[in-house]
Structure 1
């Protein structure tokens, strides 16, 4: 336990779910000196101390499935990173616009779905534990303001959604009692989105340890200066209202606006770290290594030269 030593405890993280695929397809990573190097080692040199990995149930190409996640988790842990596992409960991307059931679960009753969540969660975490890998945090669902495992787990059926989430929570605690369970919604600056969700989850006996938020000013067509005060006011309110810790599980800025992204990251990191009593647990950049030249994703922190952009300097103390 690190108590209130924020320099040790505070998670400066990166979600690198694409990394294995990028490497397998021959993408080369270079450090700031132009020397080819392991991407994780490069991230570590920028102060990144935690890695987030998404897990899908039965992905058709095996990417982000159990075996790849265990392989990448072992690699990260052996390098000294802390670890977050992000369960999507889908065979592919799950986010506010899509929360599709895994194909193998499509015909299942609600009772079976509750069991599916438990079984799948335990299966992945047991595989990690067998490798002596103990994630600090486990996310039950990915960006779920509208629920998950539609249609049964939609927010219109919040009693069912809470049962699904609690099944995941209980499964985590059965295998890894000390891991903190995160429930994660997008648009962290939108107070109403979170209050309605967590009030309902609380009313239905919802269990969780941490409120996780995404913060992407780019996707709501605003500069971070317009929304960061809302984000921080909200995080502090969630701590008081629900007596939970908070974390920015995803953040990112446009790769062509490096200075602005750097400034946003630096301010968010500083302000989350300053939350009283260490209840702001950390900040994770989503796919910083996912260079546009490979991914066509506009919010990485990697240049066309295969090197990190200056935006990542924000993670260096």
Structure 2
């Protein structure tokens, strides 16, 4: 009985000693998981809208790589894997930022960095988006026929100025997030889809008259909302409008991005099938404080867009990733010290 008790207590000790002797050869620490950016086609646009850059620089902002070394933003963005730059164009902004001269200055820097270029015409003096599409102050009293001609001539002027500086945009947006048209009230789509279509046709022809190779984008937000997109593009098609690419915005939360990404992919596939038109996600963003989740979101949406058959998913653009401690914008992808977060690893090479 005594021996059995001793054996019962000693055996586990011997077992532990035996395991510890083998541990040096059998037990290994878990290897760290190394993140790898999504593989995409060679033509896939990995883009960033950095239209704030000149204004930020004039306010003393600087940009740094992950080691803390100061860099020119265009060079830094390229080093992170981006190959395309998007720039908004305003007609006559009060402070001058994003006017034609400022757009050209930034486009020259993008070209020097070897980047493709997208111009985003807001057809406004300041922000145009789903909640507001104001006419430029100088256009407010124009009759609709004159308004359409003025939009055409302004677009030709900007395109010509770019061309004279050696810049041919790869893409041009005629309008920004035009969920209900633009140049309200004349061009409000829910009131007159025919008027909105006329404005789109005017912008399209203006772009093509200067550069036949530049692809024209019609852009609306909420890329997950298939009914919105069908309503808009059915209406434009019925009224004879032309476009080369359908552009989308997608700004999910940290909680719903998997659902919205899947809905966005389904919407893209429907747009390709319904209108024989390729698609591009021209704006994305997520809370800068949630960089790891943002990287997961970006990896997923880049993978999904790139997966569209026939190479009809053309690219993904992050909206103002360089914004940090700037105008209370919280969806950038740089930290408070001016360095890119891990979110942008999704655009890596």
- Matched residue, 2:272: 239
Cα distance in 2 for partners of 1:147, 1:294 equals 29
Q: Deviation string for 1:37-91 (max 9, x for gaps)?
A: 1111111111000000000000011100000000100110111000000000000
TM-score (structure 1 length as normaliser) = 0.96
Of 261, 269, 275 in structure 1, the residue corresponding to residue 308 of structure 2 is 275
From 143, 152, 172, the equivalent of 1:138 is 172
SS at match of 2:69: coil
Tell me the SS of whatever aligns to 2:63: coil
Asked if 1:14 is matched to 2:48, the reply is yes
Report SS of the residue matched to 2:326: helix
Structure 1: unaligned runs, 5 residues or longer: none
> Following the alignment from structure 1 to structure 2, what is the Cα–Cα distance between the partners of residues 142 and 10?
22
Cα separation, 1, equivalents of 2:203 and 2:188: 16
Contact preservation (8 Å) 1:143, 1:185 = yes
Give secondary structure in 1 for the equivalent of 2:88.
strand
Q: Which residue of 267, 277, 289 corresponds with 1:256?
A: 289
- CA separation in 1, counterparts of 2:257 and 2:100? 35
- Alignment-derived partner of residue 188 in structure 1: 223
**C-alpha contact 2:40 2:303 (8 A) present in aligned 1:** no
SS where residue 80 of structure 1 aligns? coil
4+ residue runs over 3 A deviation: none
CA RMSD of aligned residues (A): 1.2
Structure 2, unmatched stretches of 5+, are 1-38
Deviation of the 1:8 alpha carbon: 2.7
Assess if the C-alpha contact under 8 Å between 2:41 and 2:306 holds in 1: no
Q: Which secondary structure does the structure 2 equivalent of 1:13 belong to? A: strand
Partner residue, 1:229? 262
Residue correspondences, number: 310
Q: Distance in 1 between the 2:75 and 2:111 partners?
A: 12
The CA distance in 2 between the partners of 1:253 and 1:49, in whole Å, is 20
- TM normalised by structure 2 equals 0.87
Aligned to 1:36: 70
Partner of 2:48: helix, strand, or coil?
strand
Residues 248-279 of structure 1, C-alpha deviations (whole Å, 9 max, x = no match): 00001101111110000001111111111111
Distance in 2 between residues matched to 1:118 and 1:177, nearest whole Å: 15
Q: Secondary structure at the match of 2:268?
A: helix
User: C-alpha displacement at 1:6, in angstroms?
Assistant: 5.7
Q: Which of 13-22 and 274-283 deviates more?
A: 274-283
1:153-208 Cα deviation digits (max 9, x unpaired)? 00121001100110000000001110000000000000111000000000000100
Bigger Cα Rg: 2
1:305 corresponds to which of 334, 337, 340 = 337
> SS of 1:294's equivalent?
coil
Distance 2:129 2:44 in 1: 26
* Contact persistence 2:285–2:331 (CA under 8 A): yes
Map of 2:7 onto structure 1: none
Report how far residue 222 of structure 1 moved: 5.0
Mapping for residues 277-292 of structure 1, pairs under 5 Å: 277-291=310-324
Distance between the aligned counterparts of 2:181 and 2:155, measured in 1? 17
Supply the distance in 2 between the matched residues of 1:290 and 1:37 (Cα, whole angstroms).
Answer: 15
